[in-house]
Structure 1
Amino acid sequence: MLKKIAFILFGSVLVGIGINYFVIPNHLVDGGVIGLGLIAKYMLELKPGLTIIILSLPLYLFAWSHFRSYFYNGIHGLLTSAFFIDLFHPLMALETPPIFISSISGGLLLGTGIGLMLLAEASAGGSDLLALMLAKVTPLNVGVIILIIDSIVIVLGWFIIQETTLMYSALMVAMIGLTTSVITSLFSS
């Protein structure tokens, strides 16, 4: 139980730092529900953490009826990561590395954070939960599923937000998917 709590907390902190220090200042778009929360931030100046909670509710309701343990574990990850995403918003004001470095560093931080949370059967947002549920019923690795979902959202973000750089967002999402896949493959029992 302590290991699970530590993974969720540490993973959420990494996600919060990655989003606020590397992603938002460079107008990068992550995938999944986090990406949708970022699009809402860029377009409407909404708090991304709160938006992620609202957008994740339908998937958590589905998990409640079909994957109850994922719901219980996932809700902690969702609320904790959303809290840290909104808590670390002052990091956006700091000077960040160039966009190429931010794409790679942000991808590594987010991928590590998400990977740790997935090892605890938690998720940072609804799409991670969806990927975790799909990985149980398909032969695909959870990181590959996240990569597919994320790619769809970043293309949507690129169409909606003109400042979004598709190439760098895609690089970041690839790093997230690769890092998540490596962590979940290496450390899952």
Structure 2
Amino acid sequence: MKKIILLMFAIVLITGCQNKDVLDTSELEIEESIGNDGEDISVKQLKEMNLPIMYKAPSVEAGLEAIPFEMTLPETLPFETEGFRPPKIVDYTYEGKMIEIEFNATPKQKDKRIFITIKAENFGEYEGHGEGVKINDKVNGAIENNSLTFQTDGILYYISYINKEISEEKHEQELIQLALQMLEKSS
């Protein structure tokens, strides 16, 4: 009886403590890479050329679950959209440790030139180029051109937001609101 209980405890412990230190590729699909000659490049060839492996996730949720860090996307976007598309994920080390993930959202009205791209990486160093901004009491960022960059808990975030229909001041406010949503939900 003790062995059965011990075995059940071990199974729960193992499944409950899945390794979240590396990218989980079980639900991801490798994106085809095309060489200069138009031929597909294999993963082995990518490694030989020291190029990263690119994956696509089947859904937003699957992408968020695959990465080796916690990330929250904003739920309320500053324009009418169908939400974020499934992300692209880049593995720079072939070991799932240096990861970049990218999400994109576009407006429902296809004639509008508005979009948001949110990237996160677990290996970059925040340099703070651009105009310094306070996002909340704990996190500062920098706005340059149409992007806001900030770092928290070792994760570097980039939010790019293109919307020529609003003022520069409103644009900055909306960038900060997007970042606040990400920070509030993750804390």
**TM-score calculated relative to the size of structure 1:** 0.29
**TM-score calculated relative to the size of structure 2:** 0.29
Give the number of the structure whose residues are more often helix, by fraction. Answer: 1
- Looking at both structures, which has the greater relative contact order when contacts are Cα pairs under 8 Å and sequence separation is at least 6? 1
- In our comparison, the structure showing a higher alpha carbon Rg is 2
